Each structure stands twice: as structure tokens, then as C-alpha cells.
């Protein structure tokens, strides 16, 4: 034991208290940082962490929404963007996710155009109606022009097949023929093409 008073003892005590205080300050700062991360205390670091977590969560929801839509059918980028806007997602995050989908070849405007033409072929659509559908999907003119369109002979063959199918096997009069032609016109076949003397409708 040092005799009291001693000049050394206060110095040792001061050092102990300095170390203890430094440990306490560090612990307080760590607790504050954790609290900010959890959003319990306001602060720039806490706000940044909360924003990053929120963005990651919303990005995941945007991605899941796009995948769910694309699993049903092909979508154009503009059409997907409208869907995301309707759901209220952040526009910047939506664009980033759309870029990611394109980079991963999960979304393609060209593939969407080809799918519309295939669907139109099954449903008896004309090129005009397919083109209108592509515009609704927000496809650009370059994509539409590069799509695998059927040629004129295929268009005429499709019109003839529908014409004969809708006329049926029963008696055909002028009124029924006119109704069938009007129905074909609503499918997008031009009236000029339907009434062309060279069009293959003369046998019925």
C-alpha cells in the first residue's frame, strides 16, 4: 500500500477512469448506431440505412411483379412500365428492374412482337390488328417493322379460311355474305382487299 496521500495514486485513478470512460463512450455510440439503423433515432446514417432497406424491399416486389406478369405472356417494356406505375411503384427503381430483366433476356420487345403475330394467327387477326396490338403494348416502330410478319399470300389465305368458315355449309345469300365480310373487316382486313375482284371469294 502506498502511503496516503501519494502523487502516483491519483494518476493511476485518472487513467482507470479515462479507460472506463472511453469504453462507455464507445458502447453508447454503438447503441446509437444500432438504434439509428432500426429507425429508433433520427440521424443521417439511420435514414440512409432505412432508405437502402426500403429500396431493396421495393425492388424485390417490383421484380416479383414483373416475373409474375411475364410468366403469363410476353409484355413490351412500356406495357410493363404502365403496370408498375398503376401499382404505385417508384419510377426509378422500376426502370432499374426493367433494365435488369432485359439484360437477363427475361423481357424482350422483339419477342413480344413475335408473340402477338403468333396469337393473331391463331385468332384470325389481320396484320393491321396485330400492328394495333403492338402499338398498345408500346412497341417502337423499329421493333414493329422488324417483326416476322406474314406475307400477302398468307394474309389472303387467312382471310379466305375465315370467310369460308363463317359462311358455313348452309345456303348463302347476299345478306349473310355481307355480314361475314363486315366481320372480317372488324378483324382488321381492309375493305379494299375483301372486295378486290382477285380476292378468292368467288366460289361461295
Kindly report, residue by residue over 26-44, the tens digit of the pLDDT: 665 666 566 555 554 445 4
Is this structure's pTM higher than 0.75?
A: no
Q: Is the domain of 99 the same as that of 24?
A: yes
Residue 41 lies in a domain: yes
Q: How confident is the model at residue 25 (pLDDT cuts 50, 70, 90)?
A: low
- From 52-61, 81-90, 112-121, 168-177, the region with the lowest mean pLDDT: 52-61
- Same domain as 126, residue 95: no
Is the pLDDT at 106 greater than 70? The verdict is yes
What is the per-residue burial (b if ≥16 Cβ within 10 Å, else e) of 137-146? bbbeeebbee
Confidence of residue 113 (pLDDT cuts 50, 70, 90): very high
**pLDDT higher than 80, residue 149:** yes
DSSP state of 129: H
Extract the C-alpha cell encoding 101. 430483366
Residues 135 and 88 occupy one common structural domain: no
In terms of Cβ atoms closer than 10 Å to its own Cβ (0-12, 13-18, 19+), residue 134 is: buried
Q: Are 65 and 113 within one domain?
A: no
Q: How confident is the model at residue 9 (pLDDT cuts 50, 70, 90)?
A: very low
Banded pLDDT at 105 (limits 50, 70, 90): very high
Higher pLDDT, 190 or 147: 147
CA distance 172 to 91: 56
Q: 94 and 28, same structural domain?
A: yes
| 61 and 94 both lie in a single domain | yes
pLDDT at 85 exceeding the cut of 90 = yes
* Parent domain of 183: 152-194
34 and 62 together in one domain: yes
How many domains are there within the chain? 3
Could you tell me if 153 and 131 are in contact, meaning their C-beta atoms sit under 8 angstroms apart? no
Amino acid at each position: 500500500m502506498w502511503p496516503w496521500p501519494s502523487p502516483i495514486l491519483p494518476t493511476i485513478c485518472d487513467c482507470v477512469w479515462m479507460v472506463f470512460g472511453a469504453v462507455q463512450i464507445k458502447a453508447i455510440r454503438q447503441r446509437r448506431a444500432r438504434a439509428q439503423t432500426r429507425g429508433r433515432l433520427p440521424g443521417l446514417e439511420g435514414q440512409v440505412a432505412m432508405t437502402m432497406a426500403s429500396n431493396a424491399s421495393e425492388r424485390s416486389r417490383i421484380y416479383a411483379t414483373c416475373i409474375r406478369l411475364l410468366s403469363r405472356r410476353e409484355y413490351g417494356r412500356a406495357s410493363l412500365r404502365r403496370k408498375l406505375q398503376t401499382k404505385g411503384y417508384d419510377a426509378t427503381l422500376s426502370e432499374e428492374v426493367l433494365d435488369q430483366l432485359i439484360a437477363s433476356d427475361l423481357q424482350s420487345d422483339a419477342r413480344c412482337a413475335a408473340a402477338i403475330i403468333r396469337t393473331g394467327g391463331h385468332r384470325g387477326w389481320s396484320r393491321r390488328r396485330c400492328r394495333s396490338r403492338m402499338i398498345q403494348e408500346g412497341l417502337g416502330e423499329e421493333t414493329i417493322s422488324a417483326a416476322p410478319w406474314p406475307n400477302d399470300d398468307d394474309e389472303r389465305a387467312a382471310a379466305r379460311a375465315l370467310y369460308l368458315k363463317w359462311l358455313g355449309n348452309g345456303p348463302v345469300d347476299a345478306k349473310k355474305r355481307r355480314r361475314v365480310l363486315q366481320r372480317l373487316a372488324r378483324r382488321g382486313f381492309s375493305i379494299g382487299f375483301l372486295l378486290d375482284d382477285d380476292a378468292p371469294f368467288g366460289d361461295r
